[in-house]
Amino acid sequence: MGQPVVHFEIIGTDPAKLRGYYGELFGWEFQVGDTVSLNVSQPGMYGFVDGSTTEEGPVLNGGIGGGPGHQPRVLFYVGVPDVEAALQKAESLGGTRRMGPDGTPGTLVVGHFTDPEGNLIGVAGAA
């Protein structure tokens, strides 16, 4: 098996409204206020979905954030051992780096790229 999908994000201009919508739709609960990259969400507007295990099985970690000026999008992150190396490989295969590496080395670092068809994909892991 290849690298796993480890996180998803739903970004919009009104994160509170989106959290209300998806919370009601899927029963998701959010922890709001955690620090994330300013490229992903405005401070205090990002809500994490707890990725704990339910009766139905494990749940993927996720979050909803953004704010005014953020481009609405749905994004998933693939866990990689080295974010910079993954971004370089994506570029060498015809992708385009959009962001990163961004974050705190030694904890969590993320990056974004578009594939040759223009789909935005994230990578997350160590620096």
We report the CATH number of the domain holding residue 105 as: 3.10.180.10
Residue 28 lies in a domain: yes
Boundary of a domain, candidates 72, 97, 115: 72
Return the amino acid letter for 112: H
Residue 93, in any domain of the structure: yes
- Is the residue at 98 inside a domain? yes
**CATH number, domain containing residue 24:** 3.30.720
In this prediction the pTM is: 0.84
The boundaries of the domain holding residue 42 are 10-72
pLDDT by position in tens, the chain (length 127):
789 999 999 999 999 999 999 999 988 889 998 667 888 899 999 999 877 756 666 668 899 999 999 999 999 999 999 999 999 999 999 999 999 999 877 788 999 999 999 999 999 997 6
Is position 2 within any domain?
no
Distances (CA, A) of 94 to 44, 78, 88, 91, 107: 35, 18, 10, 5, 29
**Quick one: 51 and 102 in the same domain?**
no
